[in-house]
Amino acid sequence: MENEQKKQVVFSAIQPSGTVTLGNYLGAIRNWVKMQDEYNCIYALADLHTITVRQNPAQMRKNIIDAYASIMACGIDVEKSLFFIQSHVHTHAELAWVLNCYTQFGELSRMTQFKDKSAKHADNINAGLFTYPVLMAGDILLYQADKVPVGADQKQHIEITCDIAKRFNGLYGNVFKIPEGFIPKNGARVMSLQNPLNKMSKSDENVNGCVHLLDSPEVIMKKFKRAVTDSDACVRYAEGKDGVNNLMTIYGAITGKTYEEIENEFAGKGYGDFKTAVGEAVVEELRPIRERYEQLIADKAYLEECYRKADEIALKISSRTMSKVMKKVGFIR
């Protein structure tokens, strides 16, 4: 990692708040894998972010290990990329506190995800839920990231990160690199199979709405056969055909086919044939990942060796930024 300064730095993180979904994979993780040769990639399991919602401690520990193994199974190569566990690197929490003092209350109150999550967790609207965009900003700025791959729903977080960094730099000089958020060309936005107006989510109340990376082939096929479509009975991408559009997006992301090619392939065929084809494509795409996951999760010592090594390097890199921040603010070294 140290000698790859010429490559641009990419930073991205994912919460281990449950099993990794097909949406996580097609929307983000598959692109993480593709970026490993072109960029100096730094990836994190953002476990500090998960506790804005109450967690069962034993289940949380299991989720962290499962997510680490799942993401490695997708093709993250720990020899090429840095893949660490956020809570093991204390600079994240430290920088978050400092940046909290350089972030305006009004900025945070405008964050749409805070409004959405407050509505979902009305019994636990905690301060962490309000300030977690600052922790996210710290995650990115610690590594002087050039680029941050994001989904369309995360653009606001990149904007506030840039605002905080510019404010800090304006006061203390050039401390942080201003990151650029970019939406990867082949990152698919995958929606719920049961309510295609909502993003596919592990917290979906309908179990058939979300496909998990480790679902068995039988379960995957069952979920796709039950996927919501419409009464049009024609495979075409069009406004108002949200269920079919979603299935076409998934099929296209896996096969590389355009919407026009998919329409031609299923011309004159019913939704039954189409759903089966999408389900089979997903099963085959996920099969090697599931097999690799089984090997990794059976070797906890190897997993620990991987993340301990990455944690150490992440601490070393991020400490450079943290030391500069502390000095600029006026703390005694």
**What residue segments make up the domains of the chain, in order of their start?**
9-188+300-329, 207-294
The question of whether 202 is a catalytic residue gets the answer yes
Could you please state the CATH topology (level 3) that the domain comprising 9-188+300-329 is classified under: Rossmann fold (3.40.50)
pTM: 0.91
C-beta neighbour count of 31 within 10 angstroms: 19
Please tell me which residue in 117, 147, 223, 275 is annotated as part of the active site: 117
Question: CA-to-CA distance for 323 and 320, rounded, in angstroms?
Answer: 5
Cα 288 to chain center, whole Å?
Answer: 21
Separation of alpha carbons 4 and 2, rounded Å: 6
Catalytic one of 199, 223, 241, 275: 199
The single residue listed with the structure tokens 């945070």 is 108
* Tens digits of residue pLDDT in 194-205: 999 999 988 888
Q: What size, in residues, is the chain?
A: 333
* pLDDT per position as a tens digit, 198-250: 999 888 889 999 999 999 999 999 999 999 999 888 999 999 999 999 999 99
Residue in 306, 264, 283, 279 with CA at minimum distance from that of residue 71: 306
Q: What is the pLDDT of residues 70-114, one digit of tens each?
A: 999 999 999 999 999 999 999 999 999 999 999 999 999 888 877
The dihedral sign for the CA sequence 3, 16, 156, 98 = negative
Active site residue 80: no
CA distance 40 to 117: 33
Residue that is written with structure tokens 């201003």 in the block: 178
Angle between helix 91-100 and helix 300-329 axes, rounded to 10 deg: 30
> 333 pLDDT band (50/70/90 cuts)?
confident
Classify residue 265 as exposed, middle or buried by CB count within 10 Å of its CB (0-12, 13-18, 19+). middle
| Catalytic pick among 34, 80, 177, 202 | 202
- 9-188+300-329 and 207-294 in the same fold: no
Say which CATH class 207-294 falls into: mainly alpha
Is 117 annotated in the active site? yes
User: Token pair of 27, please?
Assistant: 């929307």
Rounded Cα gap, residues 235 and 195, in angstroms = 18
